[in-house]
């Protein structure tokens, strides 16, 4: 099969195991069914911007050409750092787009990917966001009215807990199972004054505390790597090996790992 790569589609089965599909243009490949088989991905040299579709030589921000990267609201810095929301500052690149994307329910959560971390996601990206980060446990703790507000709360919580994932530890499956509910309760005590100030600023009606249960997530992995060797299509167009697992947005081969999301927009020939 040949097509333009997008990040893998994911869904959580009833047994808490993730199902993965690899989109190649209009086709989708069921990856779980290929565990234990030899596969290859050959980059053809062609790359297309996922927004304007024009042919490019290099991508920015996982799939965009430079003009789109530098002008589209979804590529602006405040998407990664919503606490500096440009809409709130009056400098948004596309206020109409922001009205739809940023002013919808967001969740602040704790997850265990390479250890406990805090993060945010839109309501319609649960549990996709947790899976993309390779989390084995996740716990939503706040539901809020906007992306900006979720970023403000995340920044306050990040004073006491990490907001980043170590992708190497995540791929080696080195995280231990933790009590996320106890961690949440300790964190809320530590952040009590900051959260009170945020609630006073944004209003009680815009922040809802959640009493949710922990979501457990299992990944289709036969064997985790002891050492992580990462492939890069820009340096090595052909990636091949036995598919030993899938976690986050990574394919785990016996020869190394590759981050599929990183190469969004690349044309690839996939074979088994």
The Cα 153–Cα 237 span in angstroms is: 42
The Cα 86–Cα 76 span in angstroms is: 9
Residue from 24, 7, 35 nearest 269 by CA: 24
Q: Name residues whose C-beta falls within 8 Å of residue 214's C-beta, 6 or more positions apart in sequence.
A: 137, 138, 139, 180, 181
Question: For each of the chain's 272 residues, which pLDDT tens digit applies?
Answer: 999 999 999 999 999 999 999 999 999 999 999 999 999 999 999 999 999 999 999 999 999 999 999 999 999 999 999 999 999 889 999 999 999 999 999 999 999 999 999 999 999 999 999 999 999 999 999 999 999 999 999 999 999 999 999 999 999 999 899 999 999 999 999 999 999 999 999 999 999 999 999 999 999 999 999 999 999 999 999 999 999 999 999 999 999 999 999 999 999 999 99
**What pTM was computed for the model?**
0.95
Model pLDDT for residues 130-147, shown as the tens digit of each residue: 999 999 999 999 999 999
Domain chopping of the chain, boundaries: 2-66+220-271, 72-103, 105-216
| Predicted local confidence at residue 175, as pLDDT | 87
Pairing of strands 106-112, 27-30: unpaired
| Predicted local confidence at residue 189, as pLDDT | 97
Classify burial at 268, counting beta carbons within 10 Å of its beta carbon; exposed 0-12, middle 13-18, buried 19 or more: buried
Placement of tokens 């922001």 in the chain: 98
Classify burial at 177, counting beta carbons within 10 Å of its beta carbon; exposed 0-12, middle 13-18, buried 19 or more: exposed
3-state secondary structure at position 55: strand
How many other C-beta atoms are found inside a 10 Å radius of the C-beta of residue 80?
10
Q: Name residues whose C-beta falls within 8 Å of residue 52's C-beta, 6 or more positions apart in sequence.
A: 65, 67, 68
Classify burial at 250, counting beta carbons within 10 Å of its beta carbon; exposed 0-12, middle 13-18, buried 19 or more: buried
Placement of tokens 């999301």 in the chain: 261
CA 82 to chain centre: 15
Placement of tokens 């602006």 in the chain: 76
């Amino acid at each position: 099969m040949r097509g333009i790569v997008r990040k893998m589609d994911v869904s959580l089965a009833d047994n808490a195991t993730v199902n993965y599909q690899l989109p190649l243009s209009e086709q989708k490949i069921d990856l779980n069914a290929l565990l234990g088989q030899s596969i290859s991905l050959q980059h053809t040299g062609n790359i297309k911007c996922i927004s304007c579709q024009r042919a490019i030589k290099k991508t920015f921000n996982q799939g965009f050409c430079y003009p789109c990267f530098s002008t589209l609201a979804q590529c602006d810095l405040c998407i990664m750092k919503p606490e500096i929301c440009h809409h709130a500052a009056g400098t948004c690149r596309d206020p109409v787009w922001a009205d739809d994307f940023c002013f919808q329910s967001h969740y602040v959560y704790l997850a265990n990917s390479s250890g406990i971390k805090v993060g945010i996601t839109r309501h319609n990206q649960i549990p996709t966001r947790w899976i993309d980060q390779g989390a084995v446990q996740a716990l939503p703790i706040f539901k809020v009215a906007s992306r900006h507000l979720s970023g403000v709360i995340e920044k306050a919580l990040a004073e006491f807990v990490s907001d980043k994932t170590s992708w190497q530890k995540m791929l080696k499956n080195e995280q231990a199972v933790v009590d996320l509910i106890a961690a949440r309760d300790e964190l809320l005590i530590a952040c009590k004054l900051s959260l009170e100030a945020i609630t006073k600023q944004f209003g009680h009606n815009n922040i809802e505390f959640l009493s949710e249960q922990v979501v457990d997530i299992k990944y289709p992995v036969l064997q985790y790597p002891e050492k992580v060797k990462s492939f890069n299509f820009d340096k090595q167009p052909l990636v091949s090996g036995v598919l030993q697992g899938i976690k986050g947005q990574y394919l785990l081969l016996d020869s190394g790992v590759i981050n599929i999301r990183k190469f969004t927009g690349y044309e690839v020939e996939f074979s088994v």
